[in-house]
Amino acid sequence: MSEYITHDLTGETIGQVEKKFFTFAEPPHEMVLDSGARLGPITLAYETCGTLSAEKDNVILVLHALTGDSHAAGVYGPNDTKPGWWDNMIGPGKGIDTDRYFVICSNVLGGCMGTTGPSSMNPKTGKPYGMDFPFITIADMVRAQKALLDHLGIEKLLSLIGGSMGGMQVLQWAVQYPEMVYSAIPLATTMRHSALAIAFNEVARQAITADPHWNNGRYYGGQKPDLGLSVARMIGHITYLSDEAMRSKFGRRLQDKDDFSYNFEGDFQVESYLRYQGAKFVERFDANSFLYITKAADYFDLSSFHDESSGVKVFSRAMARFLVVSFTSDWLYPTYQSREMVKAMKKSGLNVSFCEIEAEWGHDAFLVPNERLTNLVKGFLDSVYQNIR
């Protein structure tokens, strides 16, 4: 990776951003999904930052992870104290430099942050879709993003970047619309879920559907399955961390007490932390969206795209230059899965660089400020941009 120039972590916030909306697939021109179902109209929530060049050759599409949204950087107003989920990476002088690049991030299909999903109004009934919402796939999410780019007049992407489920979308984009993609940066991701990852998702889904308030998805307007969704979030959050991170952050330290309480209210700091994460999550996320999006991630298998039989064959469809990044402590999508995709990319003749970053924070490491990751991303993007100009 010595070809990439090192940079520090300096850089200012991009300031105020605006959530925008795009609606398409109006009946009778609904979008046909992988399941065969038809969906429309579809609204996508999205945000942009930076300035689009006259040649429209500086576009970077950021793809978010499982429970993320379109709000990747900046703030919504002067009194907003919580910036977007990747504010440490996106902005002037940062890894994704908005002084140079035009950045787009949209909420995925099936979401609950402004994009059409199970909590959206079903035009046929006048009520939320609930379980009448059709099953979706990662490829369906990408088709919806392609419709947004068509609306914006974007024909080429300088780069795609995303971690975890966002990385799945990066890979899907590269083989589904290869002629549009100059480069791609999949972070902490996989070509397919392992049995372990599927198992954790299934336990989380069972926590939601076992909640008596779930009511087969018909809880809108009434009491929501907050307990089930909270437990689902706790399960997921455990997979995002590592043993080292847990040991460093919590150990066996007690929460606001000197001895055991001898009850089930929670004695340990890690118990308090997980309960807090679960409680905060139910304030912003929809339980049905969680069911649908986790299932989409479980269905994802890049090697089966267009009935291809191997990763080598499917990557032979791609044309992009790749930077693949994994993290040493990520046990949800461990490095061997990244090495598998890199091997398939190289066998298919692609230009690919790979880096495994030493990090203690587990799967979530790609979201944590990291000088090496920032330098890699910035150097890679600068190199690609210089090559096309």
pLDDT in tens, 258-278: 889 899 988 899 999 999 999
pLDDT band at 309 (very low <50, low <70, confident <90, very high): low
DSSP 32: E
Per-residue DSSP letters for 251-305?
A: TT-BSS-SS--SSSS--BHHHHHHHHHHHHHHTT--HHHHHHHHHHHHH-BGGGG
Same domain, 147 and 209: no
pLDDT in tens, 191-202: 999 999 999 999
Cβ atoms of 361 and 242 closer than 8 Å: yes
pLDDT in tens, 130-168: 999 999 999 999 999 999 999 999 999 999 999 999 999
Residue 308 confidence (pLDDT) above 70: no
Q: What is the pLDDT of residue 256?
A: 86
Q: Determine whether 363 is an active site residue.
A: yes
pLDDT band at 292 (very low <50, low <70, confident <90, very high): very high
Q: What is the pLDDT of residue 1?
A: 32
Strand order in the sheet with 102-106: 20-24, 42-49, 102-106, 59-63, 159-163, 183-187, 321-327, 352-357
Residue 311 confidence (pLDDT) above 90: no
Is 25 inside a domain boundary? yes
Question: Domain range spanning residue 372?
Answer: 20-193+301-388
CA distance 240 to 282: 18
Q: What is the pLDDT of residue 307?
A: 65
Same domain, 240 and 145: no
Residue % of the chain over a pLDDT of 90: 90
Q: What is the pLDDT of residue 10?
A: 45
Same domain, 262 and 307: no
Same domain, 238 and 263: yes
CA distance 262 to 244: 27
Segment 30-36 shows an average pLDDT of: 98
Cβ atoms of 84 and 71 closer than 8 Å: yes
Is 7 inside a domain boundary? no
CATH code, 331: 3.40.50.1820
Q: Determine whether 193 is an active site residue.
A: no
Mean pLDDT of the chain: 94
Residue 2 confidence (pLDDT) above 60: no
Is 334 inside a domain boundary? yes
Residue 88 token pair = 């440490």
Q: What is the pLDDT of residue 380?
A: 98
Is 295 inside a domain boundary? no
pLDDT in tens, 50-99: 999 999 999 999 999 999 999 999 999 988 888 999 999 999 999 999 99
Which of 119, 120, 164, 242 is flagged as catalytic? 164
Q: What is the pLDDT of residue 144?
A: 98
Is 3 inside a domain boundary? no
DSSP 33: P
Is 14 inside a domain boundary? no
Q: How many residues does the chain have?
A: 389
Residue 74 token pair = 């900046």
Residue 210 confidence (pLDDT) above 50: yes
Q: Determine whether 164 is an active site residue.
A: yes
Q: How many domains does the chain have?
A: 2
Same domain, 220 and 308: no
> Of 269, 289, 309, which marks where a domain is finished?
289
Which of 140, 267, 330, 364 is flagged as catalytic? 330
CATH code, 263: 1.10.1740.110
> Of 260, 289, 318, which marks where a domain is finished?
289
Same domain, 137 and 206: no
Q: What is the pLDDT of residue 6?
A: 34
Segment 207-223 shows an average pLDDT of: 97
Q: What is the pLDDT of residue 258?
A: 85
